[in-house]
Amino acid sequence: MRHLIAGNWKMHGTLAGVAAYAAAIKAAPDHADMLICPPFPLIEPFARALAGSGVAVGAQDCHGAAQGAHTGDVHASLLREAGAAYVILGHSERREAHGETNAHVQAKVQAAVAAGLTPIVCVGESQAQRDAGEAAHVVKSQLIHSLPADFTGVVAYEPIWAIGTGLTPTEDDVAAMHGAIRAALIAHLGEAGAMVKILYGGSVKPSNAASLLAVPEVAGALVGGASLKPEDLLAIAAAAPRG
| Catalytic center residues | 91, 158
Q: How far is the CB of 143 from ligand PEP (least distance, A)?
A: 17
Return phi, psi of residue 142, to 5°: -60, -45
Indicate the residue whose CB is closest to ligand PEP: 224
State in angstroms the smallest separation of the CB of 2 from ligand PEP. Answer: 20
Integer Cα distance of 227 and 213 in angstroms: 16
Question: Considering beta carbons, is residue 41 or 164 the nearer one to ligand PEP?
Answer: 164
Q: How far is the CB of 191 from ligand PEP (least distance, A)?
A: 29
Q: Among 163, 167, 152, 151, which residue's Cα sits nearest to residue 124?
A: 163
CA–CA distances in Å: residue 171 to residues 116, 167, 213: 34, 12, 10
Query: Read out DSSP for 158-189?
Result: --GGGTTTS----HHHHHHHHHHHHHHHHHHH
Q: Is 163 in the site for ligand PEP (CB under 6 A)?
A: yes
Beta strands 3-8 and 32-37 are parallel
Q: Which is nearer to ligand PEP, 202 or 230 (CB)?
A: 202
- Residue 164 binding ligand PEP, by CB under 6 A: yes
**Per-residue contact flags (x/-) with ligand PEP for residues 62 to 101, judged by CB under 6 A:** ----------------------------------------
Q: Which of 33, 100, 158, 232 binds ligand PEP (CB under 6 A)?
A: 158
Q: Helix (H, G, I), strand (E, B), or coil: what is residue 221?
A: strand
CB of 156 vs ligand PEP, minimal distance in Å: 7
Residue 35: CB partners within 8 Å, gap ≥ 6? Answer: 4, 5, 6, 7, 55, 56, 57, 58, 85, 86
Given the complex with ligand PEP, which of 9 and 46 has the nearer CB atom?
9
Segment 199 to 218, residues that bind ligand PEP, using CB under 6 A: 201-204
Q: Is residue 168 a contact point for ligand PEP (CB under 6 A)? A: no
Considering only residues 45, 153, 224, 230, which one is a binding residue for ligand PEP as defined by CB under 6 A? 224
DSSP string for residues in 79-101: HHHHT--EEEES-HHHHHHS---
* Number of residues engaging ligand PEP in binding (CB under 6 A): 13
Judged by the rule CB under 6 A, the positions of this chain that interact with ligand PEP are 8, 158, 163-164, 201-204, 222-226
